[in-house]
Structure 1
Amino acid sequence: MSTQAHKNVYQKNFSLIAAFLVMISITLVVALVIAQRFTETYVKNEFASRKLDVLEQTLKPYNDFFQNRIPEITSYQGFLDSASAANYARSVFTDYPFVKNIRYDEIAISSKSEERTPGNAMNISVKSVYEYQPQNNGGVVGRRLPRNADEDDFSRIAKKLNYYIVVADTSRVPNQEEIYSTFYDVKPSKISYLNIPRRQEIKDYRMLQKGGRASAYYKQNMMTFMLDVYTIKLRNTHPELYENVSIQPVVYDPISADNGEMRTEVAFPGAFSDYKLYFKSAPNHLDDEINRRFMPIAGIVLLIYVFLVVIGFLIYRNLNVNLKLFKLQYDFINNFTHEFKTPVSVIKIAGSNLRGDGELSERQRKHYGKILDEEADKLNELMNKLLSFTQIENRSIKLNKEEINLENFVQKYINTFSIKYPDFKLDYKVEGIHHFYTDPVLLGSIFQNMIENAYKYSNPGQKELFIEISYEKRNIVISFTDKGIGIPKDELNNIFKKFYRIENQYNQNGSVGLGLAFCKELANFMSGDLQVKSKVNEGSEFIVTLPYEN
């Protein structure tokens, strides 16, 4: 009944742990699936949004050219000539390879009627036009063009300048919006720029518009930059997302192929507005990035899972230890009760017979007295063993050492047990040592338990024990070798546990499981150790090692 109860408790505990493991395993799978899908969605969203980073880095040289290098023309204040314009063009070609050629227009503003140009209210005209192209050796080649070579670009800039002079606020410098709308003219693959006049010059130009200062003459410089978008260096700052980045016309639309390829695009601004950056990646390319980002998340989830499994294992181990402890205590109470019950019953029977009305012969009286004495000794021995075990565990006793003669010491126990068990074959050998300084009572307890166990756990006809004492490496080694039933290999680590009993036919009549545990504690208390070697059905060898002291 009790065994079945133990099994039921164990099954319930195991079921609880199994349910816990199943629950966290399902949670792990769900968490991994959610994390993988979240990572996949996040990477795809980045594929659609990170293209702006690539565009920004790719256009960095162009933006620097547009915002910083082109406005340098204003610093010449309209006094550029063909030579200085060539030097400026050379620096631009060196720093910005996407500029394929530059045109320089020398513009005159005056009130002379012979220089009037249709549509120019204040006589804005082109005096000369030069074109500059880069050479492979880093130089620049220039040539003069007809005055009407830039007529369209010049006309647009002239109209903007005329309008700006009319509306300009000469009390301040022009803001960026006014600069971009008046002095820049941005067309596909082409940028024209007119140097910004000073405030006094704007006032003078306004007077010219009104017909004043007839003899005035002013110079302006206009440069037109021809750009080649395909010479811009692509800077793919996110190769983990974009397998291929290319420049395509804005109208480019490839034939769709159902291969799962991811694509996106972003248009260039300004002079490159006819073109776009075109991005594409094969499915396995994005899958690699998804897996790369997913692995740390999966690792963290697995660590949490392992942590929970360890907690579950610790809970299970605790329950298992508690169950074993409960079983040991249960068996101890049963066995201890049985050990007490037998002598108590015998004592009761003998006492009843002594108290009986019938007269007892001298022989019967002595017999019952012997029985009472033997059973009382058994009870006393059991109580002393428990008390001694507790004292040794708590280190509440002291060693009382004295010198002993080992041969006499062993012979005494052999004589005692030969009388007690006539069918017990006992022999010994003492080699290399004769005297030993130790506690004879504690050592005697080890001998008594070892000899009792050797007799108890041997089959009839094989009850033999050989005791060998030797001196090895400043230690006394005492070996107890029997030909008993042996100990299973998987039980060798358990036999020295308090209250632990191996289930076999020799333990059916009661055993509290203290003998070997008591011997182990005694050996440790005496600064030694107790080891065992055993084979089932062949016998066991218990080896006690104690430090030698003179």
Structure 2
Amino acid sequence: MKGYLKDQIGSIIFFYSQIAIVMIVAQLASSLGGSRIGNSDFLYMLIIVTFFLAIYHISRYAKYRDIYRYTIDDATESAWLPDTPDHLTSQLKEHYEKQYQSYKQQVELLHSEKKQETIFMQQWIHQMKTPLSVMRLTLEKEEHNLPAQLKQNMDEELDRIKNGLQLALYQSRLQQFERDFHVEKIVVKDLVHTIIKEYKSNFIRNRVYPKVEIDPSIHIYTDQKWLGFVLEQITSNAIKYTGDSNSTIYYQAAVWEGAVELKVIDHGIGIPQQDIKRIFDPFFTGENGRHYRESTGMGLFLAKQICDSLEHQLEVSSEPQKGTTIMIRFDPS
């Protein structure tokens, strides 16, 4: 009813303004004729017109009641509208339903195209992993026949391709995160050792040494695959931005107020203070990215997106030329 009165307030004010003009004219006319209309007469006329005005608006509101009471509590509801009482609202309803159907078809088409694109991307990435594995096996087989520097350069390029494929694959999977998600109990130390083993060649090639300081009894509940990707990106960045060789990357975990805090600490070049607020932005490489061309600006962005989806906290603290600490906090279940 409030909505109806708000819509009709202008017409009601106009109606009473016309009644006031009529009363003024009637009073002037009666004065010229030598008589005068009493206040009780004006009050009686005002009551009469108000009564009929109220009857009119009550009947009109009854016709539009369903429309005024209709609300959408769920944005996913269909484009249903109540039956319309007149030709104007019928036209508006028809136009609305046609527009809704058109938008619905466009959205369904976009979803279908996006799904096909995602499937193609994932299949292509998996197909690219086969020749990549063949190239690495061939390189290992011919290791003794190749110059050491060439072997190292080839390893670096193959790792770069592998990391790029991983980024593309997980970015594609992230769009359907809820369908590719499995929570299980994970021993933190075992997961860290798995990541270190995966990046063994990178550690050796860059002369960086991992040191694990984690109690074997510490465990968490999360998705191993997704969290493993996050740790891969953190480890890759720690190795990449270590700076000097013979440095150490520390993996530490502790239980604090019931939550598990996993830290990856390096003593590399660090992150400039003006860049820290933007390191989770997509494609942001910052000042360090100008010196390391292989930076894509997507690793930490995806890591943050995954941690948010897993309901883990990802925090970064850093000082230029002193190092960076990245912490993942796993709140108690």
**Larger proportion of helix:** 2
Q: TM-score when scaled to structure 1?
A: 0.31
Q: TM (normalized to structure 2)?
A: 0.49
Which has more radius of gyration? Answer: 1
The structure carrying a bigger strand percent of its residues is: 1
